[in-house]
Amino acid sequence: MRSYNLFYRKGLDGLVCAVPEDYAVPSFLTEDLWAFEGRVDGRTPQPAGFDGSVAATAVRFNGFYLFQNLARTA
């Protein structure tokens, strides 16, 4: 599995942007709105809502993968 850096949207519970480690971070991921929260790969547990096959498709078209982490919602 590919390794992804995870960014959580501040003030919007559960929205996550996963960016492959070997890709540039998209310009909309600014420090005032998003926070880096670690990474996911084949050795770390995947967050709730993360789907590796969907992520691969999304990255192919967008360069990133947005998903809802239901475990982080209020």
pLDDT in tens, 9-42: 998 788 999 999 999 999 999 999 999 999 999 8
Structure tokens at 2: 């590919």
Picking from 6, 28, 25, the residue whose alpha carbon sits closest to that of residue 17 is 6
Q: Please report the pLDDT score of residue 73 as a whole number.
A: 56
pLDDT above 60 for 74: no
Integer-rounded Cα radius of gyration of the chain: 11
Q: Indicate the domain borders of the chain.
A: 4-72
